[in-house]
Structure 1
Amino acid sequence: MSAVLSRLAAIIVTVGLLFTSQVFGAAVHAAAAEPGYLMVHFTGDSATGQTLYLAHSTDGLHWSDLNGGAPVLRSTVGTRGVRDPALVRSPDGSRYWIIATDLCVRCGSTYEKGSPHLVVWESTDLVSWSQPRLLNVAGAIPDGRNAWAPEAIWNPGTHDYVLYWATNATLNGVLKYRIYYARTSDFRTITTPRVYIDPPGTTPVVDTQMTEVPPGAGTYRYVRVSGDGRNTVEGSNSILGTWTDLGNLSSLGLTGNVVEGPVWMKFRDRDEWALYIDHLSRNGVREYRPILTGNPFDVGGYRLQAPENYDMGGTAKRHGAIMTLTAAEESRVLARWPDTPAKRLQSYNFPDRYVRHANADVRIDPDVSPADDAQFRPRPGLAGSGTVSFESVNYPGYFLRHSAYGFQLAHVDGTGQFAADATFRQVAGLADPSWSSFQSYNHPDRYIRHYAYQLRLDPITTATGRSDATFRVTS
């Protein structure tokens, strides 16, 4: 077993999945001496591919999918598809944002005319995320036709963030993609967008990603790479100041649309950087591939890595972001998204029916379509040890909860009330001890049961009630 898999196995044992006595989100100590790295990404143009995924690495080169390779965030706003996520941590580590392109290719959106919005999630702990919201960044740009590939970086000179992205717009009679920027302190309101990068003539630029270099590590304070056909590398001592052309990736054979979505990563344990590129390989597969360098300002020293030197894991890793984790962040992330198999809850007295969600309502149905509506990941209970909560597979972050003794699929809101309403004790089946029943955490005299095929939380006093309140946890 690889070191990465061994580490994840240790975490899973610690949190005690499938049903355990551990509290959801409890601190778990990382097995390695140093914390690792977190990647957020999308996978491709399919409906499920245009959601957000997470991967973890202990060394920055070998990656393991979190959450069993299933999505961890799904957009329910705008086009309902997201791509090109950026992951931003506030300077004091108290807040995080994920910012992504609002684009759902092959499900209503087109590359030519898209959304002027970005999709934003917010968190205070890197694991409990707000519901997505839209941020209109291109609406104020004359002829602005879309907003793609957002990134953001903290600007110490102005004590706010520089948010930058690509928009296809007409300027000075030329329609093309340029990089625009605006300033923001909260990713809710922005200053008036301005042109940031505009190559000469009709040359477009789409993807730009920059990183700050530690003092004394090179000629400049910042380095950026832009998808302008040559993948130009530039250096500067000011985010909004003058940038110097340092070369491009053409010597590595990376020109045109062969590469997109560059993202920088500094190795924790040495003076070396990885530049991950969304690379179109010879067999037509597009996925991240790392370039290593000891000096990001010396383009001639960039080394494109051979496949045997890295492992991107089971899912395709497309244009995303990488964060170096603290020990506390890593513990929370690995505890929150272990490889928990998806399960169904089968009715005891209507064995052809399974618990499913439909438009936020919860009931038992036969022949559930789409099948994912009847699949849940049993998580350690949100409110107490030795309990369980049920998270939707196709709406990650949404849990089964009772409200006024009825049931709904609802987005976790971080409150104690929600946690209690979404937490249950798994006990021997009231109608058959080889099956299971689920006792409410905050109303222990009541159990999950179906009535007229709707899920309810009721006291159980009759044989019919005992049958209605009995389920099998099955694959």
Structure 2
Amino acid sequence: MSALHARLSAIVLAVCLLLAGQALTTPQRAAAADPGYLMVHFTGDSATGQRLYLAHSADGLRWNDLNGGAPVLHSPIGTKGVRDPALVRSPDGSRYWIIATDLCIRCGSTYTNGSPSFVVWESTDLVTWSQPWLINVAGAIPGGRNAWAPEAMWNPETNDYVLYWATNATVNGVFKYRIYYARTKDFRTITTPQIWIDPPGTTPIVDTQMTEVPAGVGPYRYVRVSGDNQNTVEGSNSILGTWTTLGTLSSIGLTGHVVEGPVWMKFRDRDEWALYIDHLNSNGVREYRPILTTNPFDVGTYRLQPATSYDMGGTPKRHGAITTLTAAEESRVLARWPNTPAKRLQSYNFQDRYVRHTNLDVRIDPDVTPAEDAQFRLRPGLAGTGTVSFESVNMPGYFLRHANYDFRLAYNDGTTQFAADATFRQVAGLADSTWSSFQSYNHPDRYLRHYAYQLRLDPIATSTARSDATFRVTS
């Protein structure tokens, strides 16, 4: 009996140790699996750089480009370029907005001849975005010209959003950039703009970004940093109330226009903040660089991070926005913009021709210029598992879609009808099984094919049609 008891005791002890080990390791695994952070940004002054890009980070310091480093949104309106995006989440998390500067340097705009408007997108899930619209903010300011660097934050005191930005205008005989604000509920209409920040004399101010700090962390509820040559840090208990100067970034060697586009980020797993700055490095290249602090109200605690402590990923990261993701948001974002390679669809019976879009029409052509017009990402089908949809590389958000059996490149409006029209089953090539054909999801008796070089959705009954409906997916 004693031997049996000893054996049972050993088993119980082993089980207890196993459970204890699991109890100790489970929180660590949960912490490691916490959702991460999303950054929306632009990359530079080129035409493709002035679109919107996404990056993801698990720890807030090491970033990975999404969508293969290609843009996820572009603007077909205004100047057709966007910069300095802000990402706004509604208080209940049911709605999102991206607001960006309407400016396209080197493609028609200049820094002195920009736009009085911002470009705005809206979403209910962070992945399907509306068509953009323009909101004119500088036009309501006497003598106002450009509108730059929008930001917005929900204000519980007024039960709406405070939208703030930089506009150059003459006030009291002084022409310069100041920070203006207006209130809005929908980013379509605004109250009359008012001056929010106006440094003394002729000192201009262009970029300002604030964040809300949890109660009990310090003497203020909000902290902001402004690009005013000294890069001033201020605190306040009311967004539209009085702000107190706390210091400047000159204490860590950052002064003048060397710094742009500050953006705050709170680490989710500790009481520490990152202040990312669009920094002109010693090589004359602009790039984001983090400053860390455990007390955003004490500028003396700010620590400019060495290059070995962070990784900004493959594409340049310029003035953008960072948000902490929920698990559901992260799942949707990573599924929507995986690093899927760009592909082309080569015609089987006209092998010098490839599927391409031109003015939103879709056809097969040789020698496609620009080459991106013939590049698509084969996404998981919008309407069903085991299917594919074709998203344009240079017009992200636009998919090959049939309507009345004709093909167009169309913007995904998020409807069930669009998803079905833009979804296909990839099957063995009808003319050659080593190639591919694409069967319509909602008209399974019809296939994607070309006819007189135009793309159509047709039933296939002849050898010519089978050849027209056969393609090679190639890089």
User: Which amino acid counterpart does residue 95 of structure 1 have in structure 2?
Assistant: R
2:66 corresponds in structure 1 to 66
Residue 282 (str. 1) matches residue 282 (str. 2): yes
- Cα distance in 2 for residues equivalent to 1:263 and 1:34: 22
Q: SS in structure 2 opposite 1:139?
A: helix
Partners in 1 of 2:433 and 2:113 — Cα distance? 58
The residue number in structure 1 matching 2:40 is: 40
1:54-90 Cα offsets, whole Å, 9 max, x none, are 0000000000000010000001100000000000000
Aligned AA for 1:193? P
Q: CA deviation at 1:144?
A: 0.6
Distance 2:195 2:220 in 1: 22
The residue number in structure 1 matching 2:296 is: 296
| Deviation for aligned residue 1:131 | 1.0
Deviation at 1:242, TM superposition (A): 0.2
Cα shift readout 1:283-325 (whole Å, capped 9, x = no counterpart): 1110100000000000011000000000000000000000000
Residue type of the partner of 1:351? Q
Confirm or deny that 1:363 pairs with 2:363.
Answer: yes
Distance in 2 between residues matched to 1:35 and 1:439, nearest whole Å: 37
SS of structure 2 residue aligned to 1:269: coil
CA displacement at 1:245 relative to structure 2: 0.4
Specify which structure has the bigger relative contact order, considering alpha-carbon pairs within 8 angstroms and separated by 6 or more residues. Answer: 1
Matches within 5 A, 1:149-168: 149-168=149-168
Q: After superposition, where does 1:242-281 map in structure 2 within 5 Å?
A: 242-281=242-281
Distance in 2, matches of 1:371 and 1:32, equals: 41
Distance in 2 (alpha carbons) for counterparts of 1:344 and 1:79: 29
Q: Report the Cα distance in structure 1 between the residues aligned to 2:187 and 2:347, rounded to whole angstroms.
A: 45
Cross-structure match for 1:426: 426
Q: Can you list the C-alpha shifts for 1:125-149, whole angstroms capped at 9, x where unaligned?
A: 0000011110100101111110000
* Residue of structure 2 equivalent to 1:19: none
Question: Which residue in the other structure is 1:111 paired with?
Answer: 111
Corresponding position of 1:372: 372
CA separation in 2, counterparts of 1:449 and 1:301? 64
Q: Which residue of 2 aligns with 1:392?
A: 392
Aligned to 1:194: 194
Q: Deviation digits for residues 213-269 of structure 1, max 9, x if unmatched?
A: 000011100000000000000000000000000000012111111000000000000
For residues 465 and 172 of structure 1, the distance between their equivalents in structure 2, rounded to whole angstroms, comes to 73
2: distance between equivalents of 1:398 and 1:470? Answer: 23
Structure 2's unaligned 5+ residue stretches are 1-29
The one-character-per-residue Cα deviations of 1:181-218 (angstroms, maximum 9, x if unpaired) are 00000001000001000001101000000000000011
Amino acid at match of 1:385: T
Aligned residue identity for 1:166? A
The CA distance in 2 between the partners of 1:420 and 1:34, in whole Å, is 34
Greater helix proportion: 2
Deviation at 1:274, TM superposition (A): 0.3
Bigger drift between 90-99 and 31-40 goes to 31-40
Larger Rg: 2
With over 3 angstroms needed to count, the CA separation of the structure-2 counterparts of 1:388 and 1:360, relative to structure 1, is same
After TM superposition, the structure 1 = structure 2 runs for residues 379-458 of structure 1, keeping only pairs within 5 Å, are: 379-458=379-458
CA distance in 2, matches of 1:204, 1:156: 29
- Report deviation, 1:384: 0.6
Which amino acid is 1:326 matched to?
Answer: T
Q: In the alignment, which residue of structure 1 is the partner of 2:15?
A: none
The code of the aligned residue for 1:101 comes to T
| Superposed CA offset, 1:337-388 (max 9, x none) | 0100000000000000000000010000000001000000000000011100
Which shifted more, 252-261 or 340-349? 252-261
Please give the residue correspondences for 1:115-194 in structure 2 after superposition, counting only pairs within 5 Å: 115-194=115-194
Q: TM-score, normalised by structure 2?
A: 0.93
User: TM-score with structure 1 length normalisation?
Assistant: 0.93
Which position in structure 2 is the counterpart of 1:86?
86
Letter in 2 for 1:283: N
Render the CA deviation track for 1:95-125: whole Å, top value 9, x for unaligned.
0000000000011001012100000000000
1:6-42 CA distances to partner (integer Å, 9 max, x unpaired)? Answer: xxxxxxxxxxxxxxxxxxxxxxxx9942110000000
1:21 maps to what in 2? none
The structure 1 segments of at least 4 consecutive aligned residues displaced by more than 3 Å after TM superposition are none
- 2:335 maps to 1:308: no
RMSD, matched Cα: 0.8
Q: In 2, distance between residues paired with 1:299 and 1:328? A: 35
Q: State how far apart, in whole Å, the 2-side matches of 1:68 and 1:37 are.
A: 17
AA at the equivalent of 1:365: D
How many residue pairs match? The answer is 446
Deviations along 1:422-455, one digit per CA (max 9) or x if unpaired, are 0000000000000000000000000000000000
Within 2, Cα distance between the matches of 1:183 and 1:53? 27
> CA, structure 1 residues 77+31, in 2 after alignment: closer, same or farther (shift >3 Å)?
farther
| 3-state SS of 2:138 partner | coil
Change (3 A) 1:97 1:287: same
Letter in 2 for 1:455: L
